[in-house]
Amino acid sequence: MLLVPTQDYAQRKKKNKRKNNQTSTTSNGLKPYSAVITASAETDEGLFKTHKVKEAYYFELPDSLLNREMLLVSRIAKIPANLGGGYVNAGSKTNEQVVHWERFDTKILLRVKSYAAVADSTLAISKSVAVNNYEPILYSFDIKSISPGGDGLVIDVSKFFTSDVPAISGLNAGLRKRYKVKRLDANRTFINSVKSFPLNIEVKQEVTFEAAEPPSQSRAGTISLQMNHSMILLPKKAMQPRIFDPRVGFFTISQTDYGSMALKSDQKTYIRRWNLIPKDVEAYQRGELVEPVKPIVYYLDEGTPEYLRPYIKQGIEDWQKAFETAGFKNAIIAKDPPTKEEDPEFSPEDVRYSVVRYVASTTRNAVGPSVSDPRSGEIIESDIIWYHNHLRSYRNRYLLETGAANPSARTLNTSEAEIGEMMRMVIAHEVGHALGFPHNMAASNAYDVESYRDSSFTQQNGIAASIMDYARYNYIAQPGDENIRFIRQLGPYDHYAVNWGYRYLPEFASAEAEQQTLNSWIKDKEGDPKYVFGRQSSRFDPASKTEDISNNSIQASTYGLKNLKLVAKNLPEWTSAKTNDYQDLEELYGELLGVWSRYVGHVAANIGGVHENIKMPDQPGKVYEHVDEATQKASMQWLAKNAFNTPDWLVDPQILQNIDHAGYFERLRRVQARHLNSLLSFDRIGRLIDAETFNENYYSASEMFRDLRSALFFELKNRSSSNIYRRNLQKSYVERMEYLLTELPSNRSYSRPGFESGIQYNVNTSDLRSLVRGELKNLRNDLQLARAVARNTVTRYHYDDLADRIKQMLNPK
């Protein structure tokens, strides 16, 4: 109820032509109301009145909403093809900012307020926070008139939404530079619509920029976007926040509190969550399941295909069991969209409604964004976005990753029940994001590798301890394993995280008072891998990798490759032989290379890997521990056999010669080189060198270099000829070594192949370049000896070429 504005607005919106031609004058020389809001105005009532008069749009701001905090959220509603290289989608949020309207003489100022720096208003330092964090003016509007009752200020917002205002623009500085944007074209920029709802204002804006190199339709020389701007009234009193603990995964908001007594500003981080309060607190505290005062409700988009609706609803309501762990029943509900007769005012744009939007787009993706109060982390609204073609990706991976052990996956016409189950779990994953949960990449590391071949285990536990991991299918199960569950599902971690974040604790008057209890819940699960959270950003941790399953990547990838070989052998029979068309074969072969690459990457992550064990000082053990030496050596041997020794089964002429006229060897070289570059990256080698600081017997960088050279150039010792794939890979190695010898790494995320993260050492003064130079000298000597006894001309030329390249690297002058 706190969200309802003080004006006596009806809950129904009213769109009408104004008939009241009132002409009373106002003070300060302003125009009469009737001269601005004319009889022809189209008026919409809600949070405040909005008016359209010919081509102009007006806001009528009541005095009671001046200085009330609102959340201004800008999203891309419609997008040109390939904007951002495919990483920006319709529905992408471009900015989220707290604003408030402020009167200054005859103007209304729209100010941006930040909660990055705070202090209690009763403390003297709050005055310093205010003057050192002065709120910028986003835009200044002239007051055009005053409402007849004297309590409303009329401003023209047309220019604001048709000018190039960076804070609400769909193109950031990086995209403008990338596409060489010149300017916003005012003649092709206009307001599509303005709608007023009880708690929010929605503005749709068409914007067109002149661009020299647009992402698509280059001859047009423009980039056109449709933007949607939501202005949402925030509660007068913020929800009591819950302090974030890194051992449990949640999206967060952060503030710097200058009222702290810690002799410095205090960083406060709160989790993002919905505000669930039980209807009957006493029953809740007795341990009974109680419905929340305001449940989380998701409506389905009216454009959602009928046959998919039951699965989407199931995916949403799968979270009900997890909320029961937190003491709530019916906490999250899925509903069909109401008909016009049932609710003529229903709109997906109304902030009171969260919607699963079904988007007719070729994009293969689904996202679960949400809008939250930056003061407390309270999630106000969220829309799950499902793109139509996303199921194609799941069908393909289902065939490739489970087809060997799962006969029902060996088809392009996957059954509706199986497709529906996949969609159900994707929706459940995206709903998890909308509930505040990030990816938990350690959840798939909770189960033993052999458990994935056990029918009772997989049927009960699925394939990961959380739906929030990127663990989509059981690729470990082997042909002959029966009654296996191949598709993911919610797990014990999800119940644990919902209880930790959502359990109502009325006995505590502050967020700080809750912390001891919340900490005890974490310590109760200490040592159990099912309740471990692994950050997606821990790219150095092999236990927190995407798309992997089990606690043994070597054995899991061995099982995975065994299955993939069987699938590759049968791929033409399961595709082109059925359709009399090679299109699906080409698509699936390309994705099969990607699956192979993922299995290889899971093993490669062990080399130079560091486990991140998020814990507090009162818990035993270290936070960061290097992967043990035996696992790293075994991983290098596995890579030598399965990644760098030519995987001939991937170059099947029955596939390649039916999907393209050329490029056969380059396809394989590209994916092999990706992992070669990953091993030979600045950050990985730096971690190997780092580990020697504490353990001289650790798998050292010099051992890694030596083992890799032996794997890539075994022909030099056994005097055998190398085939085209080996020669290409060997050249890629020499090229990468030159890169390590000569390039300067960035201190931030590196853009070149190799997946480098932030570099934390000086490359020039470390052992890295010494090791590279020494390896190149040894290789050059071996090449010169081997070329004399090379058995064919091409091999001899190849060795000469590599020796000359290395000589040039070592002596560039």
- What confidence tens digit (pLDDT) does each residue in 452-478 have? 999 999 999 999 999 999 999 999 999
Q: 3-state DSSP call for residue 571?
A: helix
Structure confidence at residue 582 (pLDDT): 95
Contact between 441 and 465 under an 8 Å Cβ cutoff? The reply is: no
Long-range contacts of 742-746 (CB under 8 A, 24+ apart): 742/809, 745/682, 745/683
Domain check: are 188 and 326 in the same one?
Answer: no
Residue with tokens 């080698």: 685
Structure confidence at residue 53 (pLDDT): 96
Q: How far apart are CA 69 and CA 72, in angstroms?
A: 10
Q: 28: left (phi > 0), else alpha (psi -120 to 50), else beta? A: left
Domain check: are 685 and 810 in the same one?
Answer: yes
* Helix H or strand E segment including 634: helix 629-639
Contact between 272 and 372 under an 8 Å Cβ cutoff? The reply is: yes
* Helix H or strand E segment including 638: helix 629-639
DSSP assignment letter at 31:
P
170 is written with which tokens?
A: 């769909």
Inter-axis angle of helices 768-787 and 793-810, nearest 10: 150
Question: Average pLDDT of the chain?
Answer: 89
By DSSP bridging, strand 332-335 and strand 296-300 are: parallel
Domain check: are 322 and 203 in the same one?
Answer: no
What is the secondary structure of 307-375 as a DSSP string? GGHHHHHHHHHTHHHHHHHTTBSS-EEEEPPPPTTT-TT--TTSTT-EEEEEE--S---EE--EEE-TT
Which residue from 649, 632, 670, 550 is spatially nearest to 599, judged by alpha carbons? 550
DSSP assignment letter at 235:
P
11 is written with which tokens?
A: 């809950």
Structure confidence at residue 532 (pLDDT): 97
Structure confidence at residue 11 (pLDDT): 41
Mean pLDDT comparison of 47-61, 250-264, 529-543, highest-scoring range? 47-61
Please work out, in degrees rounded to the nearest 5, the angle formed at the alpha carbon of residue 108 by the alpha carbons of 107 and 110: 140
146: domain range? Answer: 15-233
Structure confidence at residue 462 (pLDDT): 95
pLDDT higher at 241 or 260: 241
Contact between 529 and 551 under an 8 Å Cβ cutoff? The reply is: yes
Structure confidence at residue 153 (pLDDT): 96
Per cent of the chain over pLDDT 70 is: 90
8: which residues sit within 8 A by CB, 6+ positions away? Answer: none
Q: How far apart are CA 461 and CA 457, in angstroms?
A: 6
Among residues 179, 213, 233, which one ends one of the domains?
233
Q: How far apart are CA 383 and CA 758, in angstroms?
A: 34
Q: How far apart are CA 108 and CA 202, in angstroms?
A: 19
291: which residues sit within 8 A by CB, 6+ positions away? Answer: 278, 279, 328, 329, 330, 331
DSSP assignment letter at 763:
T
705 is written with which tokens?
A: 């270099």
Rg for the chain (alpha carbons), in Å? 31
Burial class (CB in 10 A: 0-12, 13-18, 19+), 566: middle
Contact between 445 and 335 under an 8 Å Cβ cutoff? The reply is: no
Q: How far apart are CA 488 and CA 390, in angstroms?
A: 17
Domain check: are 219 and 282 in the same one?
Answer: no
Domain check: are 221 and 313 in the same one?
Answer: no
Domain check: are 295 and 228 in the same one?
Answer: no
Domain-located, residue 692: yes
Structure confidence at residue 761 (pLDDT): 81
Q: How far apart are CA 207 and CA 162, in angstroms?
A: 7
Is the predicted pLDDT of residue 259 greater than 60, yes or no?
Answer: no
Domain-located, residue 733: yes
Mean pLDDT is lowest, of 181-190, 549-558, 560-569, 742-751, for 742-751
Please work out, in degrees rounded to the nearest 5, the angle formed at the alpha carbon of residue 520 by the alpha carbons of 519 and 522: 65
Structure confidence at residue 130 (pLDDT): 57
Q: Could you read off the pLDDT of 629-644 as tens digits, one per residue?
A: 999 999 999 999 999 9
Domain-located, residue 589: no
Structure confidence at residue 5 (pLDDT): 42
Domain check: are 223 and 83 in the same one?
Answer: yes
The pair phi, psi for residue 596, each rounded to 5°, is -55, -45
Residue with tokens 């409303």: 152
Q: How far apart are CA 769 and CA 506, in angstroms?
A: 60
16 - beta bridge partners?
A: 43
Which residue from 533, 505, 197 is spatially nearest to 380, judged by alpha carbons? 197
Q: Please give the tally of structural domains in the chain.
A: 3
* Helix H or strand E segment including 168: none
Confidence band for 422, pLDDT divided at 50, 70 and 90: very high
What number is the average pLDDT over the span 585-608?
96
C-alpha 584 chain-centroid distance:
28
Domain check: are 227 and 278 in the same one?
Answer: no
Among residues 390, 409, 430, which one ends one of the domains?
390
Mean pLDDT is lowest, of 208-222, 263-277, 710-724, for 263-277
Domain check: are 25 and 172 in the same one?
Answer: yes
User: Which sign does the torsion angle of CA 531, 533, 539, 545 carry?
Assistant: positive
Q: How far apart are CA 720 and CA 717, in angstroms?
A: 8
Mean pLDDT is lowest, of 71-80, 359-368, 774-783, for 359-368
- Is the pTM here over 0.85, yes or no? yes
Domain check: are 47 and 106 in the same one?
Answer: yes
User: Which sign does the torsion angle of CA 240, 241, 247, 249 carry?
Assistant: positive
The pair phi, psi for residue 16, each rounded to 5°, is -155, 165
Domain-located, residue 386: yes
Domain check: are 84 and 190 in the same one?
Answer: yes
Domain check: are 669 and 802 in the same one?
Answer: yes
632 is written with which tokens?
A: 């790293």
Q: How far apart are CA 219 and CA 213, in angstroms?
A: 9
User: Which sign does the torsion angle of CA 554, 556, 557, 559 carry?
Assistant: positive
Count of other CB atoms within 10 angstroms of residue 177: 10
pLDDT higher at 371 or 608: 608
Count of other CB atoms within 10 angstroms of residue 150: 11
Domain-located, residue 183: yes
By DSSP bridging, strand 137-146 and strand 117-118 are: unpaired
Q: Could you read off the pLDDT of 1-31 as tens digits, one per residue?
A: 334 344 443 444 444 444 444 444 555 678 9
268 is written with which tokens?
A: 């406060």
C-alpha 535 chain-centroid distance:
12
Among residues 365, 390, 415, which one ends one of the domains?
390
